[in-house]
Amino acid sequence: MSLLLASLLLYQNNRSVPLPDRTDLTNAYNKSVAWVIENQVELLQDDNSVLWKFLYESARITKDPELTKLAQTYIKERIHPRSVKQYYFDPYAAIRIDPASLEHFPDYNLFMLYGLSCSPTLESLPLIQKQFSDDFCFWNPIASPCTTHQLIAVKFIQKRQCDTLAAANELEVALLKDITRQLTIDPRMGDVYIQRAMMLMVSGAYDNIKPVWIRKIVDHQLADGSWTNFDPLFSVGNDLFFGFSYWLLDIREPKANFHTTAQAVYLMALLIDSYDDMAHN
């Protein structure tokens, strides 16, 4: 039974379908931004600058006035003027980076900060150098967002033109191949799935993207415009579903998740902006 289910999910995840039309993507984007704006008071309490970077970039692409205003509110109200997080929104912030004060940062956040700042101080750290290896994430080759986190940093390095640009370009090739493989063999919808598709779009790897992956993401948008970090398979009654959570099978009600939704907003913005290029692939 489990083998049959796995085979069905893999088939559904890789079947041939047309790319959703631009209207569907625009509607999904508008609904998701409406959810963000409606819930902004609560969302502004979330201090994950990477998510706000995604919304900031979405607003820049679409020139959405409400989303632009909200992103600017986050920067003004939630980031101290001398915080290294300023680099997410101003790569030339010229704020001193002290590695000793960043010991609480996850390794991928340090790598992203290096990519945003090109800090020689960070570049010299062994933890940064290790993340230029394409086997840095080998410890969890399927479930983890580790390789997408690496790629986010790589895109920052490329945009900022750090001294490590050549190494970043070489690493990008391996990461794109691995992320495409992950999307092909891991059909579980949720945060990591959307992040993988988002990073293929950020990288302009349109040939790697199967239209069915975009179709699945659009179809999993909740009625309120958000996305959930849960992949419901079938209903068990009382608004509860059996399905995939981040690591395990679970029974729960699909509910809005800001982390997942922020990435989906950015993905929709990228798809709308590059729709003609996508449609011709």
Tell me the domain boundaries of the chain: 17-279
For all residues of the chain together, what is the average pLDDT? 94
Lowest-confidence region among 91-100, 158-167, 257-266: 91-100
The pLDDT of 238-260, averaged and rounded, is: 90
The pLDDT of 49-54, averaged and rounded, is: 98
- The pLDDT-based confidence of 2 (bands split at 50, 70, 90) is confident
Q: What is the pLDDT of residue 161?
A: 97
Instruction: State yes or no: pLDDT of 235 exceeds 60.
Output: yes
Which of the pair, 115 or 137, is modelled with greater confidence?
A: 115
Instruction: State yes or no: pLDDT of 139 exceeds 70.
Output: no
Q: What is the pLDDT of residue 103?
A: 87
Query: Cα–Cα distances in Å, from 59 out to 17, 56, 79, 255?
Result: 29, 5, 19, 24
- The pLDDT-based confidence of 1 (bands split at 50, 70, 90) is low
The pLDDT of 11-26, averaged and rounded, is: 97
In this prediction, what percent of the chain has a pLDDT beyond 90? Answer: 85
Q: Which residues pair with 155 in a beta bridge?
A: none
Q: How far apart are CA 80 and CA 173, in angstroms?
A: 36
Q: Cβ neighbours of residue 159 under 8 Å, at least 6 residues apart?
A: 91
- The pLDDT-based confidence of 143 (bands split at 50, 70, 90) is low
**Burial class, 114, CB count within 10 angstroms (exposed 0-12 / middle 13-18 / buried 19+):** buried
The pLDDT of 51-62, averaged and rounded, is: 98
For 75-124, the pLDDT digits (tens) are 999 999 999 999 999 988 989 999 889 988 999 999 999 999 999 999 99
Query: Cα–Cα distances in Å, from 261 out to 56, 63, 136?
Result: 14, 19, 27
Instruction: State yes or no: pLDDT of 214 exceeds 80.
Output: yes
Asked if 184 and 177 touch (Cβ cutoff 8 Å), the reply is no
Instruction: State yes or no: pLDDT of 200 exceeds 90.
Output: yes
Q: What is the pLDDT of residue 249?
A: 86
Instruction: State yes or no: pLDDT of 212 exceeds 80.
Output: yes
Lowest-confidence region among 69-73, 121-125, 136-140, 253-257: 136-140
The pLDDT of 263-269, averaged and rounded, is: 98
